Structure 1
Amino acid sequence: MKGNNKFLKILLLGLLSAIGPFSIDMYLPGFPNIAKELHTDVSNVSLTLSSFFIGISAGQLLYGPLLDKYGRKKPLYFGLSLYILASLGCAMSASVNMLIIFRFLQALGGCAGMVASRAMVRDLFDVKESAKVFSLLMLVIGVSPLLAPTIGGYVTAAIGWRYVFIILLGIVLIILLLCIFLLPESKQPAPDYSLAPAAILKRFADVFKQPQFVIYTFASAFTAAGLYAYVAGSPHVFMEVFGASDTLYGWIFAMIAGALIVATQINAQILRVTSSEKIIPRAIFFQTCAGILLFVGFAYSWWGMTSSIILCSIFLACQGFTFPNASALALAPFEQNAGSASALLGCIQMATGAFSSAMVSVFHDKTATPLGLVMGFCAIIALSILLTGKGIVRYRARKAEVEKSTVDMITEL
């Protein structure tokens, strides 16, 4: 693959992957203004984030089989077109309930880019290179939390939160045009691929039979859930608890996200000397430590704004090591069902994200404690899944070896 072509493909795949994060991050500084204009409170506005996560989760299950049957690009075009129309609906919403519905539809469209980009990485690169490519995609995705909240804060302050969605509409329209003219198809349509419900469910079940997929998907999903809890709860913590302005919050969000970006690029370098399997447990362990410290510190009012920024930065940096490696390992066993596996991976990640962001809203008590609680809990669950899952796999491997040795001994006798 020529260097220029490889760079262009990775850039476009990164832009597709960034649609979801950009759609999440850009309107966060507008939460107080949205609540005021739509006559509700910030906790109800947070439900628009939960509906977005639910839409992404459900939508990815729809796009996975479509990407395997029709190739990667046609379903992608449909999804991006739906996103553009739903963004217009978000901008015109007259109530928080309307915004919740249109955010759901926006997510249904935007998730096509996330599923297609992961499947195309699996199509175009081998396992070790995939982890490096996912790290590079995270570099593009990382521009979202660096720029989106800052842009969203200034746009909201200058002309209002509705124009945030108009800007999102324009960005995705440009991405759609770039994909039409510059992104090559990585998988040809499969006419014999059945879209019957029974066949789709069987393929999903086959994916779940692969222990490597299950372990790394669920472990990474709960680490991501901690990140999404941070996304949902950070506007309240930094703007209402610590008193930051909407523009200052944008800069704080960008600063913390910068830790994630740096981590992904360090990860790409570390992969030259070690493996993804060795990186992941260390990253999740340190993320768990940061999550526990956040919860305890928030509960006892130990942390101010600066210390909270530092701990949140550590938490997100660990995600920069976990996501690219776990994604590569989870998808590695699949060739024919890469689209379905990618859809399940994304669905599970976003479903846990929807749950964690909703829990931040449910436990809302005008303090920072609920955010620390959910972030710490998610990290502990992720570490438990990883250690337990790998332990079960090792046990089964040893058991299989013992059984084989026993059979061989009996045969020799």
Structure 2
Amino acid sequence: MEPRIKDEDFEMALDSPPAYSHMSLQEQLKSQHMMAGQSSSSSSSSKVDFFADIPGIPFTMHLKPVNQYLEDGPVLPPKNAKPPARHIPPPTFSDLPASVVQDPRDPTRVVGERATTSYVSDLYEYIQGNCPKHSVQGFTFEEPHQQQFQVSLQLQGLPPIKPPYDRKGDDMVDTPKLFPSKKAAKEFVAQLALEELKKMPAQPEHIIIGPGKMKAESPMGELNRYCSQNALPRPHVLDTSNSKPPYFFGCEITIDISGERKFGDPHPNHPNKTAARNAAAQLALEWIMKENPRIIKIKGKAGKAGRVLAPGSFIQIDATGKTIGEVATEACALLGFKAPQRELVPIGEQTGLYNVFVTLEHGEQITRIGPLKNIFGQKNASKEAMKATFRTVQYIADTKYGVKVEIIGKIEFELHD
């Protein structure tokens, strides 16, 4: 049977608190002093431990040292063991065009600046139409820091394409470029790949130009498709807005056709971005229809329309390891000429001497080159015919279409003007 608490012990341990409301300050102090003396004398005389006589679990906590906790088991790893994110500077936008009149009470600000559409989709379209041999094999991502990614792109038959290194924060050396998302990383490396592929010789037989305006196509979409089909740089879009509600938007579009041309009004006067962009794109399309800038339509082997070159474009042919015949034939193919037709005419009874003629055909135009007189030997005559062919193609491209044709690389033949 559990021991019971005695009544006298309970009375000694628990005394009702005194009432001080009707006493003066001196009386309160005197009363407290007397009660303290009585409590000490009674406790010393009876020696009663009130809490020791209460049955049950004692309120005593024994805490183990930290070292003992660590020895009991392995430390749990954090949820994300990767290093903290590195600082990535935010994208910067260009200044407002000079044509924008700032209102001090409600100034105009740049709310977006980019080239339209997606580099990833443009990359797939360009590969399909220009170089199907270099198809996309895949994107590879790494996450060395929390929510920051590295990327590389593998194209068939080419080394991996990676963004150039850059320097972050207080680092003393360049390190791999980081991106805040996989989408941003794909867009960046797709742009690099697109630039590399455009430097390679074109394959006109694989390039198809689509029909006219698509059904329910907006002016912005029509302008994007026009530039893509005509091998022009992508339109650059500058979106602006006022800084206080009600918000209005402006847009200025820059296209590059024989030099940069700007269309649209960057001062905010449209209810949304879409309306501002379509208004600027419509002005650009109207200028294109009115001026009708001259372009070269290249046809492939099957006779289908291929890519086009705007005046002021450059065609570079790498002559490394090639003969003059291969270079001249490639120039004809890139500019839409049919393969040159050579004609070697022997000169009377003079053995080994020839007069050389070359015929070039481009659409309805036929150009006759020659004669190149008194050339000794068929092999030498063929070389001179190809040199004359290349110089003629250069001249026609420059004078008629405004396109420069250049030879780069290691040239193993002499080409005189």
TM-score, L = length of structure 1: 0.22
Find the structure with the greater CA-based Rg. Answer: 2
Normalized per residue, the structure richer in helix is 1
TM-score (norm 2): 0.22
